[in-house]
Amino acid sequence: MVTTPPDGRSGIDAALVQRLIATQFPQWGDLPVTPVAVDGWDNRTYRLGDRMTVRLPTAPGYVPAVDKENHWLPRLAPQLPVAVPPVLAKGVPGEGYPHPWSVRGWLPGETADRGRIDDMPRFAVQVAEFIVALQRCDTTGGPAAGQHSWYRGAPPAHYDDETRRCTAALRGRVDTGRATAVWDAALATEWCDAPVWFHGDIASGNLLVLDGGLTAVIDFGTSGVGDPACDLVIAWQLFSGESREAFRKAVGQDDGTWARARGWALWKSLLVLSECIDTDPQRAAVNRHVIAEVLADHDRHG
């Protein structure tokens, strides 16, 4: 997630981070602490010197990700084709901040924007190769999809009531008949193979680009072991035309998984659109576009 929390939401600032570092990791206490250019909602991130970052959950619901990432990222990293955040240290509550937090190594690159990508079909294949490699990682002892992953990796039926409420609220403003058909198709399928690793939020803000190509994947807070359909949503959020077909071919997956992926994309875009349709025209337009692409894809492949 890449939206910036409103001021005061989390009570986290650079001064707090500086105090936490000075108290718990005095060997780094002289390094400057600066906010990153693009921050997240689940966590606040700060540069620590030139080679590290500090990552702090903004609310109790995001705390389980700290131990999950600290435990699993070093185990997954050697099996993946691009870099993931290196875990350097874990902090504890202090200085008035109530949650555990972490220190990571800095990864070079910028978030994936179309203007920073030299060859979009090639980039789509790189993203697909990452997803496939992640699915091949050993799942022994891995965290089963559930509350810690915000139910990514679980059946999309968890969000059935919410999706239908959003659909009803948007009646007359989007094609709710076709949207309902997409959602029903998603619920009619299930993941029948062995659970696999999923990232849970394969989105442009969590993909880093360097020299025009994929160099790293960050933010594994919603990762886990289960159904990988949620990792295909980027097909409609970032890719189109030739790049979408390149992604589809390289990532594989059966028709049912693609149906659930369309459901995941639809759920999120309906939810966001229902919240911003009358207040944020730019954000609304982005989500209208995703919905239209998902509906068209269902007509073509569903």
| Judgement on whether residues 203 and 123 belong to the same structural domain of the protein | yes
The pLDDT tens digits of the residues spanning 83-139 come to: 999 999 999 999 999 999 999 999 999 999 989 998 999 999 999 999 999 999 999
2 found inside a domain: no
User: CA 83, CA 215: separation in Å to the nearest integer?
Assistant: 6
Give the number of domains in the chain.
Answer: 2
| Judgement on whether residues 131 and 276 belong to the same structural domain of the protein | yes
User: CA 84, CA 76: separation in Å to the nearest integer?
Assistant: 9
| Judgement on whether residues 19 and 90 belong to the same structural domain of the protein | yes
Rg (CA), the chain: 19
Supply the CATH number for residue 203's domain. 3.90.1200.10
The pLDDT tens digits of the residues spanning 65-85 come to: 999 999 999 999 999 999 999
256 found inside a domain: yes
94 found inside a domain: yes
Alpha helices in 26-175 (DSSP H): 64-76, 120-135, 160-169
| Judgement on whether residues 67 and 123 belong to the same structural domain of the protein | no
Residue 8 has pLDDT above 80, yes or no: no
| Judgement on whether residues 227 and 78 belong to the same structural domain of the protein | no
Structural domain that includes position 248: 111-301
The pLDDT tens digits of the residues spanning 182-227 come to: 999 999 999 999 999 999 999 999 999 999 999 999 999 999 999 9
Structural domain ending residue among the three candidates 87, 106, 125: 106
Task: Judge residue 98's burial from the number of C-beta atoms within 10 Å of its C-beta, 0-12 exposed, 13-18 middle, 19 or more buried.
Answer: exposed
| Judgement on whether residues 259 and 155 belong to the same structural domain of the protein | yes
